[in-house]
Amino acid sequence: MSDLTTKDRDHLIAIVHGGHERRKALQEIYENSELHQRAKEIILANSGSIQDSIDVVHDAIIVLDRNIRQQKFRMEGPILHYLISICRLLWMNRMRKKIRSQRSDIPNSVTGEVDPETLLFDKEQKKNLDLLLSRMDEKCLKILTLWKQSYSMEEIAGAMQLSSARLARKYRYRCAQKMLNLLEEDQDLFELLRELR
């Protein structure tokens, strides 16, 4: 922990303890202007937008929070550097998935053949996903679905009758946190979500 600043140590302790202090620490980390600037530089340089950078920072904070609480955070340097690395990884993963989804040359879909093992696995995944979704409230489900379908925060705000994109972003963050909290209780569902992201 020697490379961490006093502020980083305070944030780590607050996140581990939970409650109001955890929320306050995460908010302070999120408000770091250097984090937003560096994320913006990475994402704009890789075919993304300013809105994409805001969303990726949100996701990186969720990952940080989860990793600290699951004791997966290696305390080898400043939290800022860790978050910047997470932002880069999240964006590169998103870009790879976008490229994969644009390629619709999957052999089974071309031939019309479906491997029985794949079909069974898909049914099991759907069952697990349905179980997870049944534990989420309707508003969160709709917000996360719209976000997953690449709707902008402005569009989500309009669809959900929220007053601003900022409020939509806040709801999306809270809903993602709820989902992560549910996933922490079930490792199989957690692995499933990682596959779906």
Please compute the mean of the pLDDT values over residues 135-144 and round it to a whole number. Answer: 84
Distance CA 181, CA 20 (A): 16
Please compute the mean of the pLDDT values over residues 149-168 and round it to a whole number. Answer: 87
The percent of residues above 90 in pLDDT, for the chain, comes to 22
pLDDT in tens, 156-165: 899 899 999 8
Is the pTM of the predicted complex or chain greater than 0.85? no
Please compute the mean of the pLDDT values over residues 6-10 and round it to a whole number. Answer: 90
pLDDT in tens, 30-66: 999 999 999 999 999 988 889 889 989 999 999 899 8
Cα torsion 87, 91, 93, 99 to 10°: value is 180
Domain ranges of the chain: 6-102, 117-196
Angle between helices 79-102 and 50-69 (to 10 degrees): 120
Please compute the mean of the pLDDT values over residues 139-158 and round it to a whole number. Answer: 83
